[in-house]
Chains A and B, each alone.
Chain A
Amino acid sequence: MTCSDVERALPEMLDGTPDGSLAAEFETHVKSCPDCSDLVSDLKLIASEARQLAASEEPAPRVWVRIAAELRAEGLIHDREHDRDSEPASAPGRPILVPTSPRRRWSAWWLAPVAAGLVAAGSYVISHKPASAVAKQQAPATPGTSPSTSPASGSPTWVAETPAVTSGGTSGENAAAVRAPAPERLAQKSAPPKGVSGSSAEPAPSPEDQQFLSVVSTRAPSMRATYENQLQAVNADILETQAYVNRNPGDVDARQHLMDAYQQKALLYQIALDRIQ
């Protein structure tokens, strides 16, 4: 066997099922030829070292959030109202929580530019007392600050819109309990979809939502209905989850879900505005 024969046989020898006699000739030549020996060992080394690069990283959580928002915007995901009708709730009045990665921490740093965009587009978040802390599972917050204060100017008002509940003086609660807006005030901000139980009346869409839909109507009239439906669905989710959080201030999952819902709304704005520009 010559060196050229060895090189031709390499793919099969390294990755295939070589013929017995071919393998014997191959080994004999490689043992006696320093160049071919170096070549074989180098290629084996490259193949084995390449495994170091295998799937060791994960994409950031924002990738799934974007995917989900886009799927919702395209109508490929049923809205929560439809899902609720088709399955029993695990507990009366408990909102259906989106199964997310376990212990997914809410990190708002990437939301900062989105939040700034919302403010510019007629921000959904109104001025409010900043939350002293939002949830136990978020980044540690010192009293009087919110985890999202540092990244962007719009964040404090954003966090302030995501209250838990007035603790009602429960001493066992986290000392950094968040103050909630009055439920009727929050209801004014979000328009629930038709038929949402528990709502005594349909509040009008918030000024920010109206402005957003107005922009969509002007620039992309054919998309208004889609975004209006998506907005109604996410607003309903926010309302219901907020109400649940108000009743169950210690429910960390529910607060995370509320955060997720706000993030989804922010993404809905972002995606829509990106599309129609």
Chain B
Amino acid sequence: MTDPKPGITEAEAIEQAKQGHEAAFEVLYHLHKRRVYSLCLRMVSNPAQAEDLAQEAFLQLFRKIGTFRGESAFSTWLHRMTVNVVLMQLRKKGLPVVSLEETLEADDEAPRKEFGTKDVKLTGSIDRLQLQRAIDRLPPGYRTVFVLHDVEGFEHNEIAEIVGCSIGNSKSQLHKARLKLRDFLKFMRAEKAKTG
């Protein structure tokens, strides 16, 4: 079998990677590296750690590539691994990683906390750094769905497959994530206004 040439399709690269061709692995890596790294970076906010997580996600993928049968999209499979790697890392750090289903059950009817920011408006644009800080404060389950949907552009059916929940849960988690972010951002603006 010849080495993959530039411009081969993802499907061809997958098959050649199964044969152990380094160039095929490299093609797959370069095809997906930005999204995987971006997902990791948005989840942990640390470039060095995000690199380690992206590396681990790709290694897990490549170790298991022989088992990929195409039942789902390759990118979905890869991002599922990435999410699992990230959540595993967050668990190791002792952060309370609650499953999406648990989050839904526990928080469905809980009243949202108001931060005394009723009069603060989020008009105009949102500072990118503030937004990232607000995302950092989200519980991992909310953070995952928000990053996948609003940052990375995955659809709810894809997110449902990646994180293993229903489409309805995905929509609900996203909505709750956005509400929390709104509260955090308004709080930050209020604090900033106080300090001048």
Interface membership of A185, Cβ < 8 A:
no
13 interchain pairs (CB within 8 A)? A10-B175, A39-B182, A46-B131, A46-B150, A46-B178, A53-B38, A53-B131, A55-B37, A63-B33, A71-B22, A72-B22, A83-B3, A96-B3
Nearest chain B residue, comparing its CB with the CB of A74: B63
Interface membership of B35, Cβ < 8 A:
yes
CA distance A207 to B2 in the complex (A): 36
Determine whether the beta carbon of B181 is less than 8 Å from that of A46: yes
| Given contacts A67-B59, A86-B2, A77 and B178 within 8 Å (CB-CB) | no
Give, as a whole number of angstroms, the nearest-CB distance from A107 to chain B: 15
| Given contacts A60-B51, A77-B25, A101-B30, A43 and B171 within 8 Å (CB-CB) | no
Interfacial chain B residues near A59, Cβ < 8 Å: 33, 37, 50-51, 54-55
Determine whether the beta carbon of B55 is less than 8 Å from that of A58: no
Interfacial chain A residues near B122, Cβ < 8 Å: 41-42, 45-46
CA distance A96 to B2 in the complex (A): 12
Q: How many A residues, CB 8 Å from partner?
A: 47
CA distance A52 to B132 in the complex (A): 10
Determine whether the beta carbon of A54 is less than 8 Å from that of B38: yes
CA distance A15 to B29 in the complex (A): 31
Interfacial chain B residues near A45, Cβ < 8 Å: 122, 125-126
Determine whether the beta carbon of B128 is less than 8 Å from that of A52: yes
Interface membership of A27, Cβ < 8 A:
no
| Given contacts A53-B42, A63-B55, A98 and B34 within 8 Å (CB-CB) | no
3 residue pairs, one from A and one from B, having the closest CB atoms: A50-B150, A55-B38, A55-B34
Nearest chain B residue, comparing its CB with the CB of A99: B23
Interfacial chain A residues near B27, Cβ < 8 Å: 99
* CB within 8 Å: A-B pair count: 137
Determine whether the beta carbon of A57 is less than 8 Å from that of B131: no
Interfacial chain A residues near B30, Cβ < 8 Å: 64, 101
Give, as a whole number of angstroms, the nearest-CB distance from B182 to chain A: 5
Which B residues between 30 and 49 are near A, CB-CB below 8 angstroms?
30, 33-35, 37-38, 41-42, 47
Interfacial chain A residues near B156, Cβ < 8 Å: 15
Interface membership of A51, Cβ < 8 A:
yes
CA distance A12 to B170 in the complex (A): 12
Having A46-B126, A99-B3, one finds 14 other A-B pairs with CB under 8 Å, namely A43-B179, A46-B178, A52-B131, A55-B37, A58-B34, A63-B51, A64-B29, A67-B25, A67-B29, A67-B55, A68-B26, A77-B20, A78-B19, A83-B3
Determine whether the beta carbon of B37 is less than 8 Å from that of A58: yes
CA distance A129 to B50 in the complex (A): 39
Determine whether the beta carbon of B34 is less than 8 Å from that of A53: no
CA distance A57 to B45 in the complex (A): 12
Which A residues between 47 and 97 are near B, CB-CB below 8 angstroms?
47, 49-60, 62-64, 66-68, 70-72, 74, 76-78, 83, 86-87, 96
